[in-house]
Amino acid sequence: MSGFDETLLGEADETVRVRFVVNGRKVACEVAPRETLVDCLREKLELTGTHAGCEMGACGACLIQLDGRAVHSCLIFAVQADGARIDTIEGLSESGVIADLQAEFHRRNALQCGFCTPGMLVNAEELLSLVAQPSREQIRDALSGNYCRCTGYEAIIDAIYAVAKARSGGVTT
Ligand code: FES
Ligand code: FES
């Protein structure tokens, strides 16, 4: 169609090259400037264990570790993570670092559909790295940003509490 100023069209199509270390692997990819990290991880890197729920920082389904800290991957653009170390639920699982949490979630039926579970595990690992023996109340507070719509929270809290105790050399029940 003539008569339109099309000089701005190219801007929307632009991509930016970013580089990350994802689960120990160095990767480079092209992303749109406004592409979220969760979309990049799921769609470009096929790391679909990180879930996109609310996409506004409220549900915790998209939690990953960025340079060792838990962050919402729906709230940052992929370009903002350029140069960072990213660990997703796949990497945390493969390394065995959360094996005890996974086993305890399984043992206590702390999941049903599993949609919230990767975020729960990333958050639980973050909590236990900051507080060796959290109280049930502290665990409940820490999970206040993680929505579970089918399991309920008691079994999840029980599982994290038991792992905290075991990691500190205590006995689990
Ligand atoms: S998808 Fe990121 S907090 Fe819900
Ligand atoms: S296990 Fe289904 S949302 Fe938590």
Mean pLDDT of 41-67: 97
| CATH number reported for the structural domain that contains residue 74 in this entry | 3.10.20.30
For residue 86, pLDDT over 90 is answered with: yes
Query: Of 41, 71, 88, which one is at a domain's C-terminal end?
Result: 88
Q: How far is CA 74 from the centre of its chain?
A: 9
How many folded domains does the chain comprise? 2
Query: Of 36, 67, 88, which one is at a domain's C-terminal end?
Result: 88
CB–CB of 47/90 below 8 Å? yes
23 and 51 together in one domain: yes
* Pocket residues: Cβ below 6 A from ligand 2: 111-117, 148-151
Which ligand 1 atom sits closest to the C-alpha of 55?
1
100 and 140 together in one domain: yes
**Cβ neighbours around 122 below 10 Å, total:** 28
Query: What is the DSSP secondary structure assignment for residue 144, as one 8-state letter?
Result: G
- Whether 1 is covered by a domain: the verdict is no
For residue 171, pLDDT over 70 is answered with: no
- Whether 33 is covered by a domain: the verdict is yes
Record the tokens describing residue 76, joined without a space: 């940052």
The pLDDT value recorded for residue 11 is 59
- Whether 76 is covered by a domain: the verdict is yes
70 and 109 together in one domain: no
Burial string for 82-113 (b: 16+ CB within 10 Å, else e) reads eebebbbbbbbbeeeebebbbebbeebebbee
51 and 105 together in one domain: no
pLDDT tens track for 87-144: 999 999 999 999 999 999 999 999 999 999 999 999 999 999 999 999 999 999 999 9
- Whether 120 is covered by a domain: the verdict is yes
Query: Of 68, 88, 108, which one is at a domain's C-terminal end?
Result: 88
Q: Name the band, by pLDDT with cuts 50, 70 and 90, for residue 6.
A: confident
pTM: 0.91
- Whether 173 is covered by a domain: the verdict is no
Å from CA of 54 to ligand 2 middle: 14
**To the nearest 5 percent, what fractions of the chain are helix, strand and coil?**
40, 15, 45
CB 122 less than 6 A from any atom of ligand 1:
no
- Whether 12 is covered by a domain: the verdict is yes
| CATH number reported for the structural domain that contains residue 101 in this entry | 1.10.150.120
Domain residues for 103? 96-167
Residue 96 φ/ψ region, left for φ over 0, alpha for ψ in the -120 to 50 degree band, beta for the rest? left
Q: How far is 131 from 13, CA to CA, in rounded Å?
A: 45
- Whether 77 is covered by a domain: the verdict is yes
pLDDT tens track for 32-46: 999 999 999 999 999
Mean pLDDT of 64-76: 98
